[in-house]
Structure 1
């Protein structure tokens, strides 16, 4: 039986084995040693009802063991909020080892956004591919979205606009996000835009347009800006600063490469999972860090790929990286892609061409006909930071996506001989 909480008069549910609860107590931090007296009455309650003494002893030992785990103490209920804030800060600090160097970017963009101001602001984040623009925008979005009446993060705008009906789909997503309805409830995009203007008029919203180009025609999407309420914020990310000039964005922030010490920290966080470099790899680690450049994407992918690999693989990777000039980001990433076993490389190409933004289970189902081990192969790509999962959907950085598609295109010049066709234009040319 589970001991009732101290002071509880609720009924006691039936158990499924005395040892089961000792294991639960060992796995959950339910109290500190000084607090164990609070369970004294519960232990006594079970003892009086004939629970096996060995079982009670295990419960008590488990409580004492849990009580020895260092942690924060809440001396009074008035301090509980403070303790929660400290815990959240500690967790974020632990997680942020995978976002090395991002905080100072976030702080500078936050100053431009100035969310306390009541005016409407559009802020642009620009820089070459792989510097972390989308990551910065997403980080800020998650930090401030609850300050707004409506929010929408339109990711990979450049990729979506290349698809048939892509702009309409983006408008539809914007409408759905801001109004909190599904696409099926929207009769047309124009109706949705009208609904936004009427229902969100004078309300504060947050919109992120990720990865735009100067050639984009975003007027249909940006047409709602004149209807937004005071305090609204729009964040635009782009590789080309001219895109910001075209849309008359005056508040800009350029994301450059990482500082040398940040590169080393980020690489080690992925290559050694935050632990100090082993003695036999310490020198190799420094040599690789000095070779891969200062873009977070390259650092993360190379470091993740080398995690738990042999010294021989490290040496081979270093030799291949040294052959590539520093500015050639995709060529450095190609070193890792070429080193992948055939099964991993095939699934990488499939995702790059077809499955970005698609449900992981759908892709795995399709792959299962070709290889029953596709799930474990995908996990390797995820652990290598080549593929990521967001809300159960497959995601890949656009530099890796473009690299994968270039591999397919370069193998054969004629579209009809390409192993994968991912656009209507390709399919049309292949049929000619």
Structure 2
């Protein structure tokens, strides 16, 4: 990580670049007769590129709007301590921003995250990160549509914006106390012993939620009691908190007050071809002679990432006749039968 500091006339806006170049105009002129034009132009280009970067400015950030006043006028010597206060505040802000990246956890998302970024962006829009209310977003859809992968990417991207965060995976298959203690452990600064009593753990979670802005992701919920034992209710959360829930059954969220439901779309043809080819051929394009077979398999996979991944993973080892056999099986499955397509893809792996 690199931090670039300009001592004068640098800010987030393009007009500052003109101001910066104006400040150094005489320097460029002086250097023009000492050095060749190519070298001077390189320096000028470096300044232009730096001016396009987003950054912080003492006059605009950390309440530094009055900084210019602090350093001018007859009361200069009396106002310098206040100016130093602005500087210290800006440095603290920079430290906090850097710390976000240094402490950011990294959940494993996907080996080939095709189509994930655009869907992650749609979820972030629903979360409305700029508001200070508590928002709950449910990601709902059938198996194989990469719900977990998408929310993992979302978690990685935004978790540094919160005081603490927790990602609970496969909640429906986990013991109640296991999920509760994982949540408590993730959110507590002072790690506490495991709590075996479910009601007591629920109350402990409520207390944690009330006093810090948190990000909580609950993956694969299939019963409303999962939400109850984890104290998932907007009224328990500190303002600014965000909760993401994934489920195959929208009825499992019961009477929970939610702000938005997001249903990830299947991959489009372009995305499907890329994902399948990456697993089948190791690159984004199919091998010569396999173009039509690849197109047909992708068409019948209906854009389901898990189907594309599993069939693609095994197809690199198959002959053309075996590819054609798999295609015939896929054609027998109704277009809306996701589980049927998944069965064909897993059977392909099992047969090896």
**Residue 126 of structure 1: CA displacement?**
0.8
* Counterpart pick for 1:151 among 141, 153, 165: 165
Is 1:296 the counterpart of 2:305 in the alignment?
Answer: yes
Question: Structure 1: how far apart are the matches of 2:296 and 2:248?
Answer: 29
- Unaligned segments of structure 1, at least 5 residues: 1-73, 89-94, 161-165, 345-432
TM-superposed deviation, 1:331 = 2.8
CA contact (8 A) 2:273 2:284 kept: no
Write the deviation string for residues 207-246 of structure 1: whole angstroms up to 9, x where unpaired: 0111112553521212675342211000111112223453
Contact 2:278 2:284 in 1 (8 A): yes
2: CA distance, partners of 1:198 / 1:331 = 45
Report the TM-score when normalising by structure 2: 0.63
User: Structure 1, residues 294-320: CA drift from partner, whole Å, max 9, x if none?
Assistant: 211111111122134332332232233
CA distance in 2, matches of 1:245, 1:222: 14
Name the residue aligned to 1:311. Answer: 320
Q: TM (normalized to structure 1)?
A: 0.52
Q: Alignment partner of 1:222: what SS?
A: coil
Deviation, 1:334, is: 2.6
Match of 1:282 in 2: 291
Q: Which residue of 2 aligns with 1:60?
A: none
Alignment of 1:32-181 (within 5 A): 98-160=112-174, 166-180=175-189
Superposition CA RMSD, Å: 3.3
* Residues 245/260 of structure 1: CA separation in 2 closer, same or farther (3 Å cut): farther
Deviation of 1:193 after TM superposition, in Å, equals 4.9
Which residue among 202, 205, 220 is the counterpart of 2:229? Answer: 220
Q: Could you list the runs of 5+ residues in structure 2 that have no partner in the other structure?
A: 1-44, 55-100, 102-108
Go from structure 1 to structure 2 and tell me whether the alpha carbon gap of 1:130 and 1:179 turns closer, same or farther (over 3 Å shift). same
Q: Residue 210 of structure 1 contacts residue 237 of structure 1 at CA under 8 Å; is this kept in 2?
A: yes
Deviation of residue 326 (structure 1)? 2.5
SS in 2 for 1:153: strand
In structure 1, distance between residues paired with 2:279 and 2:214: 36
SS class of match (1:216): helix
> Secondary structure of 2:219's match?
strand
Higher RCO by CA contacts (8 Å cutoff, separation 6 or greater): 2
Report the count of equivalent residues.
254
User: Cα distance, 1:149 vs. partner?
Assistant: 0.9
Give the Å deviation of 1:196: 4.8
